[in-house]
Structure 1
Amino acid sequence: MKIEKVIKSETKLPLPKRTVLNIMYTQNVQAESFNELLKPYELSPEQFNVLRILRGQKGKPANMCVIQERMVAKTSNTTRLVDKLLLKELVTRKVCSENRRKMDIGITKKGLDLLLELDPKVQEHETGYAKNLNETELEQLNLLLEKYRGE
């Protein structure tokens, strides 16, 4: 459906505005669906992102700076996210042995088990959005989005 129809615009939008609105609308549709996927697990997408980052550390702890720089949403309050994950016993936090001003954050077995349960559901979610495009189109879309961001 054309974005003009979605927002009920009677006039054709200028291409730059149409592009921005299409990206924002698509992101919101995808995010709402992803939120619904995570809702039964009482996880936010940002908390899920922290867990995936920690799993990617392969057993090595990460400090708040490492987590923050790898977050998809850079504006997230990492300390608050980790605090919530601590309460759910999905992560651990302890003082770094090499630098007492830093905290080492690790993922627990419970956190790893939760990700294992979520992995097929997340993959299905991602595949569901990709199904309307072939592999070449997906590659092109990724290249165009990176170019659009100026990267």
Structure 2
Amino acid sequence: MATTSKSPLAVTLKQNRPFVSLQQEAFLSILRTASELSNTADKLLRQFDITQQQYNVLRILRGAGTEGLCRNEISARMVAAAPDMSRLLDRMEKSGWITRERAEDDRRQVSTFITDSGKKLLTIIEGPVHAQTHRLFEGVKSTDLKMLVDVLAQIRSRRAELS
């Protein structure tokens, strides 16, 4: 009698029945991996009293330069959606990492800018974040990483088509 070995994900999830399809296994594997990577990032960033979303906003604003960005443009560039961008920015402004200014000609337009304090925090965090990312992917061949990036882009593209 032939035995079939369980996939690493099935073992991790303590799943006794086979996955409905390879697509389901891939989907659940992506979700599980994303959750584990997110928890790892949370643990690292917690040392600096910053969340992943706040870190992402600071990186976006630094990249925007002296022009700053409006709330909706920041939201559109986020890696993960932030359900309440206004409150997130309020907390970041209170921490001194960002400033917001209303446009003179259109008072409804509010631009957000990274402060020197926000830039300094990013500089401090980037070394440990880079080191952690390197450790997480250490041993994975560059060609495999490129393939992973390409496959994930295909999935995101397909999802966008279905929306």
TM-score by length of 1: 0.94
Q: CA deviation at 1:83?
A: 0.4
1:15-58: per-residue Cα shift (whole Å, max 9, x none)? 11111110000001100000011102221111111111000012
**CA distance in structure 1 between the partners assigned to 2:64 and 2:76 by the alignment:** 14
Find out whether 1:78 has 2:79 as its counterpart.
no
* 2:72 corresponds to: 65
1:126-151: per-residue Cα shift (whole Å, max 9, x none)? 21222131111110110111112235
* 1:129 corresponds to: 136
User: Is 1:46–1:76's contact at 8 Å kept on the other side of the alignment?
Assistant: no
Find out whether 1:118 has 2:122 as its counterpart.
no
Aligned length: 151
Alignment equivalent of 1:42, drawn from 35, 49, 53: 49
TM-score by length of 2: 0.87
Alignment equivalent of 2:18, drawn from 6, 12, 15: 12
**CA distance in structure 2 between the partners assigned to 1:76 and 1:45 by the alignment:** 13
User: Is 2:61–2:68's contact at 8 Å kept on the other side of the alignment?
Assistant: yes
Structure 2 residue matching 1:57: 3-state secondary structure:
helix
Q: Where does the alignment leave 5 or more consecutive residues of structure 2 unmatched? A: 1-6, 159-163
**CA distance in structure 1 between the partners assigned to 2:52 and 2:11 by the alignment:** 29
**CA distance in structure 1 between the partners assigned to 2:156 and 2:58 by the alignment:** 26
* 2:3 corresponds to: none
CA RMSD of aligned residues (A): 1.4
1:97-133: per-residue Cα shift (whole Å, max 9, x none)? 3421011111110000000001111111221222131
Which amino acid in the other structure matches residue 127 of structure 1? H
Alignment equivalent of 1:23, drawn from 30, 35, 38: 30
Identity of aligned residues (%): 26
* Structure having the higher Rg: 2
Structure 2 residue matching 1:12: 3-state secondary structure:
coil
Structure 1 residue matching 2:101: 3-state secondary structure:
strand
Q: CA deviation at 1:59?
A: 2.1
* 1:2 corresponds to: 8
Runs of 4+ in 1 over 3 A off after TM superposition: none
